[in-house]
C-alpha cells in the first residue's frame, strides 16, 4: 500500500476507530513487512502515531490544539486495552513481555523525536497500567528503561513523573504496588534504579548541593518491594534483554539499584531529620544487605550459568560528597551528629562486607582499603580492613 | 577474600553490638546480626541466637529463614532438635486453643520451604512415641504432601486399627476410630491407595462408626480436643464417605445415598434389587445393595425413632385398635394370629391418633427396606452378616418391636416392655394384655395408667381414631397425652363391660350405669352406646345407679333421663340417692308421689348445671372410685372366656 494511501484510508474514520485502525496499521508496519526500506517504514509509523494516535499534528503535519481531558483518558484506556488483548507466547516470562509489543511501545514512546507532551502521556499510561495490572505495558516500559539506561533522562523523567503524579496520590498499602514485583519484576527493578538516582544525588548539574529526600511513600514502597523478594534487585542483571528486543538491537548493560539505594542509607543519617523516616532507612539498609547476601546466592544456586553481577563498586561506594559531609559533621563536634556519623560508617562497613561475602564487589582490594582508611576510625571498620588485607 | 580466623572477642563484640540495638532499632540490630552471621558462618551459637532473636521479635518470615538455614548448615545440633521437638506437637493441636508462642511456631512452620516441612514431619512422626501424635503427624504429612508415600498411609491405617484393639476401647466411638474414619479415610480413598479388600474394611469401619454415633446418641468422643470431639452431621458424613468409597468400588447404586427424595431412592434400590441382584445372585451386586440399603434402612429407623418422640415432649406408642363396642370377644385362639408380612405393608392397617403423618411415613419406608433386606436371598445372608458385624440390632430395637407388633407376635413383646415404671410401660402392658385377652391384667394396668395420668402435662385431644376406628384398622399410634390415653382405656373398659352385659344381663344395673358413664368419654360416638343402654333400662322395672349424680355430666344423657322420667312410667329410676329414700314402687302414680317428682326434677336440673365440667376429670374420679366393681367385672369376664 502506498505511503499516502494508508493515511487517506485512516482519515475516513473518526476517533476512536481511526486510532484502533492506526494501532493495527502500525503493528503491521513495524513487525510485519520487511520489504520496504526500514527508514521509510519508521517515518510512516511516526507520522501515523502523531496524527492518528496522539493527535499532535493535523493532515498537513502542523501541530494541533491539545486534546480534551476525556479524549486523553479514552486514548489511554484504548492503548491499555490494545496491549492487554495481546496473548503472550507461552515461553515468555513476566520480565520481557512480548517482543512485538515492545517494538510498538518503543515507537509510541521513543527516546528522541517526540513532542514533550508525550512524556506526560507515558507517565499517565504507566500509572494506569500499574493500577489496572496491565502487565504487558509495564514489561515493555521496563525493557525500554533498561535499553535507554535507568539513569537516562527518559527513565528519570518517567520515574519522577510517576512519583509526582502517581505515588503521591496512592497509599503504600495499595495492592497494585505490592503486586508490582510479581507482575512486572524488570520494570520494578529498573524503576527502583531510576528512583535511586533521583534522590540524595549531587551528580546533578545543580552545584548548590541541594540534597533531595524521597517522599515517604516511595521509601516505604521500595522497602516493601525489596523485602518481598531478595532477588528482585538482581532482575535487570539476569534478564536476557536480547529476547525482548526487535532483531538487530543491541542490549544495554544492566544497572542495579544497589548502589543508589545504599547511597540513600549512607546519606540519610546525616541529612534526614524525621525519626520515622530514619527508622525506614534502617530497614532499607537491612533489606539491602540481606538482598546482597541472600538474593544472588539464591538465584545463582538455581541458575548456575548466569554470570556474577556487581552490587557495589570500589570507586563509587564512598562518594566524595559523602566524605565532605562527614567531615563537615565531625567539625560540628556535637554528640548527636557524631552518633549519625557512627551509623554511616557502620552501614558502609556492613554493606561492603555483604558485597565481599557475596563476591559481588567490583574493584581493586588496595583501592578499597584506601577508601576505607579515609573514613573516621571505628572498631568494625578496623576489623573489616583487617579482613580485607589478609 | 576468604573469611579469616577471628578471635572469640570479635564474635562476642558483634553479638553484643547487635543486641544493644534490639530495643531501639530492630533493623539496625538485624543488620548487625546479618553481618555477624556472614562473618562467622560456622558458629552455631550465633546462628541459633539470631533465630531466637527473630523468634522473640515474632517475625515469622525471618525466623523461618533463620531456621531453615540452621537445619541446612547444622543438621546435627542437639539444641536444634530439641527446638523441633518443642514445636512439632503444636502442629497437631487445634488452632483455636494455641498460645501466642504456639501460633507463632505454627506460622513459622508454614513459612518454611516445603521440602523442609516434609522432612521435619516425617522425621518427627518416626520419632514420636505417642500413637495419637504419631498419627497426627503422619496425617499432616499426608495432607500437605499427598504425593508422599502411600505405604505410610496404609501403615497408618493398620496402626489405628491396632491401636483401637490394644487400648481396649470399650466401644466403637473412640479417638482412634474417629481419626481413622474422619481424617484418614477420605485421604486414603481419594488417593486410590486401597485395594478392594481394604476398601470394604474401611467401609465397614466407617459405617459402624457413624451408625453407632448417630443411633447410640453419642455426643462427645473421649480423648480428643474440644473442636473435634463431636460430629455435627453424622448422617451426611456417612453418606459422603460411603459415596466416596462406593465410587472407588464403582457402585452404580451409590447415588441413592445423597438422593434427597427418599421415595425415589427407594424406587432405585428396589428396582436394582429386582433387576440385578435377585435374578443374578451376584455377590458383588448384593454387597452393594446390602450396604446402601442397610444405611438407608437404619437412617429411616433413625427418623422413625425421632418422629415417635415429638418436640413437645410427648411420644407415640403403637397400640392395638379397639373396635366396637359391639364386638363379641371369643375365647382366646390357641395359636397366635400372625399377619403375613411377605406381602407389602398394608397401610390401612395402621393409623395415628392425630394428624401427623411422619411416623407412618417413616415406618413404612423402614419397613420396605427391612422387608427387602431380610426376606430374599442373597441379600438376606449378607444383611445378617453385616448387621451382626455392625451390631445394628442394638439400635433398631423399637422398630423391631413394632414390626413384631404389626405381625401380631404379642407374646414375644412382653419382654420388650420398658423396665422403668412409666405410663408408657403401663400402657404397653394394657394393649399387650388386651391383645392376648387377659382382661384382668389388662384392667389392672388400666388402673396403673389412670394413676399416672395426672402426671402428664400434655392434654392432647380426643380422637375419632380411638373412639371409632375405621373398619380395617388393626393398630394405631397413640399420642401419650391425657385425653387420648384416657379415651383408649375407656374404650377397652367399654368393650369389657359390654361383653359382660351381653353375657350376663341379670347383673345389669351397675354395668348399664358404668357404660353410660364411659360413653361420655367417647362422645359423640358414645351416643350409640347410650341409646343401647336406654333400651336396656326401658326393659327394667327398676334401675338403680346411685353414682349417677357423681359421674353423669353429659347433657344429652341427662336430658334423656328427664324424658324417660316424664314419659316412662314402667321403670323406676333410682338414680338420686337423696330422692331414693322416699321411693315407692308406684312413684309415678299421679298425686301421691308429687313431691318426689319435684325433688327428682330439681335434682336433674342441678345435674344439668354440671354439663361443662371436664369429662376427663369425671372419668378419673370414676376409675378411682369404681375400681373394685370394674376389676370384678373384668375378672368375671376373663373367667367366662376361659371356661
Please give the pLDDT value at position B190.
83
Closest Cα in chain B to A357: B38
**Closest approach of B24 to chain A, Cα-based (Å):** 10
Average the pLDDT over B141-170 and give the result: 81
Give the whole-angstrom CA distance, residue B496 versus residue B438: 11
Q: With bands split at pLDDT 50, 70 and 90, how would you rate the model's confidence at B455?
A: confident
Please give the pLDDT value at position B538.
82
Average the pLDDT over A214-243 and give the result: 91
Residues of A in contact with B38 (CB under 8 A): 293, 353-354, 357
Give the whole-angstrom CA distance, residue B643 versus residue B635: 12
Please give the pLDDT value at position B227.
78
Closest Cα in chain A to B62: A227
Cβ–Cβ gap A279/B34 under 8 Å: no
**Closest approach of A286 to chain B, Cα-based (Å):** 5
Contact B611, B555 (CB under 8 A): yes
Mean model confidence pLDDT for chain B: 83
**CA B53 vs CA A234, B18, B58, B453: distances in Å:** 28, 10, 9, 75
Q: Which residue blocks in chain A are alpha helix, DSSP H?
A: 3-11, 17-27, 38-48, 69-84, 99-108, 117-131, 135-148, 153-165, 175-183, 185-198, 216-228, 235-238, 258-271, 275-290, 296-302, 320-332, 335-357, 365-373, 379-389
Closest Cα in chain B to A350: B35
Contact B380, B386 (CB under 8 A): no
Q: With bands split at pLDDT 50, 70 and 90, how would you rate the model's confidence at B4?
A: very low
CB of A306 within 8 Å of any CB in chain B? no
HSE-up (13 A, CA, CB side) for residue B199? 22
Please give the pLDDT value at position B584.
46
pLDDT in tens, B245-291: 999 998 988 888 888 888 899 999 988 888 877 777 777 888 899 99
User: What part of A 2-21 touches B (C-beta under 8 Å)?
Assistant: none
CB of A367 within 8 Å of any CB in chain B? no
Q: With bands split at pLDDT 50, 70 and 90, how would you rate the model's confidence at A256?
A: very high
- Cell digits of residue A292: 546482597
Q: Which of B33, B38, B40 to mutate to test binding with chain A, by most A CBs within 10 Å of its CB?
A: B38
pLDDT in tens, B98-140: 788 888 888 898 888 888 888 888 888 888 778 888 888 888 8
Average the pLDDT over B559-568 and give the result: 81
Please give the pLDDT value at position A230.
86
Place of cell 555477624: B36
Please give the pLDDT value at position A91.
54
- Cell digits of residue B236: 451426611
Asked whether the predicted pLDDT for residue B341 surpasses 50, the reply is no
Average the pLDDT over A110-124 and give the result: 87
Q: With bands split at pLDDT 50, 70 and 90, how would you rate the model's confidence at A159?
A: very high
Please give the pLDDT value at position A39.
60
Give the whole-angstrom CA distance, residue A342 versus residue A245: 46
**CA B255 vs CA A66, B59, B242, B368: distances in Å:** 69, 50, 10, 19
Poorest-pLDDT segment among B50-64, B147-161, B445-459, B580-594: B580-594
Count of A-B CB contacts under 8 Å: 57
User: What is the value of ipTM here, to two decimals?
Assistant: 0.87
Asked whether the predicted pLDDT for residue A340 surpasses 80, the reply is yes
Closest Cα in chain B to A353: B35
Asked whether the predicted pLDDT for residue A116 surpasses 60, the reply is yes
CB of A364 within 8 Å of any CB in chain B? no
Give the whole-angstrom CA distance, residue B103 versus residue B87: 10
- For B25, the closest of A282, A387, A388 (CB atoms) is A282
**CA A365 vs CA A259, A371, A380, B169, B424: distances in Å:** 18, 10, 18, 74, 101
Q: Higher pLDDT residue, B83 or B310?
A: B83
CB of B57 within 8 Å of any CB in chain A? no
Closest Cα in chain A to B14: A380
Give the whole-angstrom CA distance, residue A95 versus residue B249: 49
Please give the pLDDT value at position B334.
46
Cβ–Cβ gap B2/A390 under 8 Å: yes
Contact B266, B365 (CB under 8 A): yes
Please give the pLDDT value at position A221.
94
Asked whether the predicted pLDDT for residue A191 surpasses 90, the reply is yes
Cβ–Cβ gap B31/A379 under 8 Å: no
Cβ–Cβ gap B38/A353 under 8 Å: yes
Q: With bands split at pLDDT 50, 70 and 90, how would you rate the model's confidence at B582?
A: very low
CB of B8 within 8 Å of any CB in chain A? no
CB of B4 within 8 Å of any CB in chain A? yes
Q: Which of B568, B490, B503 is closest to B534 using CA atoms?
A: B568
CB of A365 within 8 Å of any CB in chain B? yes
- Cell digits of residue B48: 541459633
Q: Is the peptide bond before B524 cis (omega within 30 degrees of 0)?
A: yes
Report the percentage of chain A scoring pLDDT > 70. Answer: 92
Please give the pLDDT value at position A35.
55
Give the pTM. Answer: 0.65
pLDDT in tens, A1-43: 566 777 777 777 777 788 888 888 888 777 765 555 566 667 7
Q: With bands split at pLDDT 50, 70 and 90, how would you rate the model's confidence at B344?
A: low
CB of B51 within 8 Å of any CB in chain A? no
Place of cell 402392658: B429
pLDDT in tens, A343-389: 999 999 999 999 998 888 898 888 888 888 888 888 888 888 888 88
Asked whether the predicted pLDDT for residue B559 surpasses 90, the reply is no
Cβ contacts of B42 within 8 Å, gap of 6 or more? none
Poorest-pLDDT segment among A116-120, A327-331, B85-89: B85-89
Q: With bands split at pLDDT 50, 70 and 90, how would you rate the model's confidence at B208?
A: very high
Report the percentage of chain B scoring pLDDT > 70. Answer: 91
Q: With bands split at pLDDT 50, 70 and 90, how would you rate the model's confidence at A128?
A: very high
Give the whole-angstrom CA distance, residue B549 versus residue A147: 118
Amino acid at each position: 500500500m502506498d505511503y499516502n494511501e494508508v493515511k487517506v484510508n485512516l482519515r475516513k474514520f473518526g476517533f476512536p476507530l481511526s486510532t484502533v485502525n492506526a494501532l493495527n496499521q502500525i503493528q503491521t508496519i513495524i513487525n510485519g513487512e520487511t520489504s520496504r526500506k526500514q527508514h521509510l517504514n519508521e517515518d510512516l509509523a511516526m507520522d501515523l502515531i502523531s496524527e492518528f494516535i496522539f493527535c499532535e499534528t493535523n493532515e498537513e503535519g502542523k501541530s494541533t490544539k491539545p486534546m480534551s481531558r476525556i479524549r486523553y483518558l479514552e486514548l489511554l484506556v484504548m492503548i491499555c486495552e490494545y496491549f492487554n488483548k495481546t496473548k503472550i507466547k507461552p515461553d515468555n516470562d513476566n520480565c520481557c513481555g512480548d517482543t512485538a509489543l515492545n517494538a510498538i511501545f518503543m515507537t509510541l514512546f521513543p527516546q528522541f523525536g517526540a513532542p514533550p507532551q508525550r512524556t506526560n502521556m507515558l507517565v499517565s499510561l504507566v500509572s494506569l497500567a500499574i493500577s489496572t495490572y496491565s502487565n504487558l505495558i509495564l514489561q515493555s516500559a521496563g525493557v525500554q528503561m533498561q535499553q535507554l539506561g535507568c539513569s537516562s533522562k527518559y527513565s528519570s523523567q518517567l520515574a519522577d513523573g510517576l512519583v509526582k503524579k502517581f505515588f503521591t496520590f496512592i497509599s503504600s498499602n495499595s495492592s497494585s504496588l505490592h503486586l508490582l514485583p510479581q507482575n512486572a519484576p524488570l520494570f520494578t527493578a529498573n524503576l527502583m534504579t531510576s528512583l535511586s538516582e533521583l534522590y540524595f544525588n549531587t551528580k546533578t548539574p545543580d552545584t548548590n548541593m541541594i540534597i533531595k529526600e524521597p517522599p515517604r511513600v516511595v521509601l516505604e514502597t521500595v522497602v516493601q518491594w525489596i523485602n518481598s523478594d531478595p532477588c528482585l534487585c538482581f532482575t535487570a542483571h539476569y534478564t536476557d534483554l536480547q529476547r525482548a528486543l526487535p532483531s538487530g538491537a543491541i542490549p544495554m548493560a544492566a544497572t542495579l539499584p544497589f548502589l543508589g539505594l545504599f547511597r540513600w542509607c549512607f546519606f540519610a543519617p546525616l541529612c534526614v531529620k524525621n525519626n520515622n523516616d530514619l527508622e525506614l532507612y534502617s530497614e532499607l539498609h537491612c533489606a539491602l544487605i540481606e538482598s546482597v547476601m541472600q538474593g544472588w546466592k539464591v538465584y545463582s544456586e538455581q541458575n548456575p550459568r548466569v554470570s556474577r553481577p556487581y552490587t557495589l563498586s570500589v570507586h563509587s561506594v564512598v562518594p566524595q560528597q559523602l566524605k565532605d559531609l562527614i567531615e563537615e559533621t565531625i567539625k560540628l563536634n556535637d554528640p548527636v551528629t557524631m552518633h549519625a556519623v557512627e551509623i554511616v560508617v557502620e552501614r558502609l562497613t556492613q554493606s561492603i562486607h555483604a558485597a565481599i561475602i557475596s563476591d559481588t564487589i567490583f574493584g581493586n582490594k588496595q583501592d578499597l582499603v584506601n577508601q576505607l582508611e579515609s573514613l573516621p576510625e571505628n572498631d568494625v571498620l578496623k576489623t573489616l580492613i583487617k579482613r580485607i588485607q589478609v | 577474600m576468604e573469611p579469616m580466623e577471628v578471635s572469640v572477642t570479635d564474635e562476642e563484640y558483634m553479638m553484643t553490638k547487635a543486641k544493644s540495638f534490639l530495643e531501639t532499632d530492630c533493623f539496625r540490630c538485624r543488620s548487625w546480626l546479618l553481618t555477624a552471621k556472614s562473618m562467622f558462618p560456622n558458629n552455631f551459637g550465633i546462628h541459633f541466637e539470631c533465630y531466637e532473636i527473630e523468634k522473640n521479635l515474632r517475625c515469622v518470615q525471618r525466623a523461618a529463614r533463620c531456621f531453615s538455614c540452621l537445619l541446612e548448615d547444622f543438621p546435627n545440633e542437639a539444641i536444634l532438635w530439641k527446638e523441633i521437638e518443642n514445636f512439632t506437637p503444636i502442629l497437631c493441636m487445634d488452632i483455636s486453643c494455641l498460645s501466642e508462642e504456639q501460633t507463632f511456631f505454627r506460622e513459622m512452620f508454614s513459612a518454611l520451604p516445603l521440602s523442609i516441612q516434609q522432612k521435619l514431619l516425617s522425621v518427627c512422626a518416626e520419632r514420636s512415641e505417642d500413637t495419637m501424635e504419631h498419627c497426627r503427624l503422619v496425617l499432616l504429612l499426608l495432607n500437605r504432601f499427598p504425593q508422599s508415600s502411600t505405604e505410610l498411609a496404609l501403615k497408618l491405617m493398620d496402626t489405628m486399627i491396632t491401636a483401637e484393639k490394644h487400648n481396649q476401647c470399650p466401644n466403637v466411638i473412640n479417638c482412634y476410630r474417629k481419626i481413622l474414619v474422619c481424617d484418614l479415610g477420605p485421604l486414603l480413598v481419594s488417593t486410590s491407595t486401597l485395594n478392594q479388600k481394604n476398601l470394604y474394611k474401611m467401609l465397614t469401619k466407617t459405617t459402624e462408626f457413624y451408625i453407632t454415633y448417630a443411633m447410640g446418641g453419642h455426643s462427645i468422643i473421649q480423648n480428643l480436643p474440644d473442636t473435634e470431639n463431636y460430629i455435627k452431621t453424622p448422617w451426611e458424613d456417612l453418606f459422603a464417605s460411603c459415596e466416596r468409597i462406593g465410587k472407588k468400588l464403582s457402585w452404580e447404586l451409590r447415588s441413592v445415598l445423597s438422593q434427597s427424595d427418599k421415595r425415589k431412592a427407594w424406587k432405585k434400590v428396589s428396582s436394582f434389587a429386582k433387576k440385578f441382584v435377585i435374578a443374578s445372585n451376584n455377590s458383588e451386586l448384593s454387597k452393594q445393595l446390602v450396604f446402601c440399603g442397610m444405611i438407608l434402612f437404619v437412617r429411616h429407623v433413625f427418623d422413625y425413632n425421632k418422629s415417635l418422640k415429638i418436640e413437645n415432649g410427648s411420644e407415640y406408642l403403637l397400640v392395638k385398635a379397639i373396635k366396637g363396642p359391639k364386638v363379641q370377644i371369643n375365647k382366646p385362639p390357641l395359636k397366635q394370629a400372625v399377619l403375613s408380612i411377605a406381602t407389602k405393608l398394608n397401610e390401612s392397617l395402621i393409623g395415628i391418633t392425630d394428624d401427623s403423618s411422619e411416623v407412618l411415613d417413616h415406618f413404612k419406608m423402614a419397613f420396605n427396606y427391612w422387608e427387602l433386606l431380610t426376606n430374599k436371598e442373597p441379600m438376606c445372608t449378607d444383611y445378617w452378616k453385616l448387621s451382626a458385624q455392625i451390631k445394628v440390632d442394638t439400635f433398631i430395637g423399637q422398630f423391631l418391636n413394632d414390626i413384631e407388633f404389626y405381625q401380631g407376635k404379642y407374646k414375644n413383646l412382653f419382654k420388650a416392655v420398658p423396665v422403668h415404671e412409666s405410663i408408657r410401660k403401663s400402657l404397653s402392658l394394657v394393649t399387650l394384655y388386651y391383645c392376648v385377652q387377659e382382661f384382668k391384667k389388662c384392667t389392672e394396668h388400666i388402673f396403673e395408667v389412670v394413676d399416672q395420668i395426672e402426671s402428664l402435662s400434655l392434654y392432647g385431644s380426643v380422637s375419632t381414631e380411638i373412639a371409632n376406628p375405621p373398619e380395617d384398622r388393626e393398630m394405631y399410634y397413640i399420642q401419650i397425652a391425657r385425653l387420648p390415653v384416657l379415651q383408649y382405656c375407656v374404650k377397652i373398659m367399654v368393650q369389657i363391660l359390654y361383653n359382660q352385659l351381653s353375657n350376663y344381663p341379670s347383673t345389669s344395673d351397675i354395668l348399664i350405669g358404668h357404660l353410660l358413664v364411659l360413653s361420655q368419654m367417647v362422645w359423640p360416638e358414645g351416643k350409640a352406646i347410650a341409646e343401647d343402654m336406654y333400651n336396656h333400662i326401658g326393659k327394667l322395672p327398676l334401675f338403680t345407679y346411685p353414682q349417677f349424680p357423681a359421674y353423669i355430666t353429659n347433657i344429652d344423657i341427662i336430658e334423656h333421663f328427664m324424658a324417660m322420667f316424664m314419659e316412662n312410667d314402667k321403670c323406676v329410676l333410682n338414680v338420686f340417692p337423696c330422692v331414693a329414700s322416699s321411693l315407692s314402687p308406684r312413684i309415678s302414680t299421679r298425686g301421691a308421689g308429687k313431691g318426689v317428682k319435684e325433688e327428682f326434677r330439681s335434682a336433674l336440673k342441678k345435674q344439668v348445671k354440671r354439663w361443662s365440667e371436664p369429662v376427663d376429670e369425671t372419668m378419673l374420679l370414676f376409675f378411682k372410685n369404681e375400681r373394685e366393681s370394674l376389676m370384678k367385672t373384668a375378672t368375671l369376664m376373663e373367667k367366662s372366656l376361659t371356661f
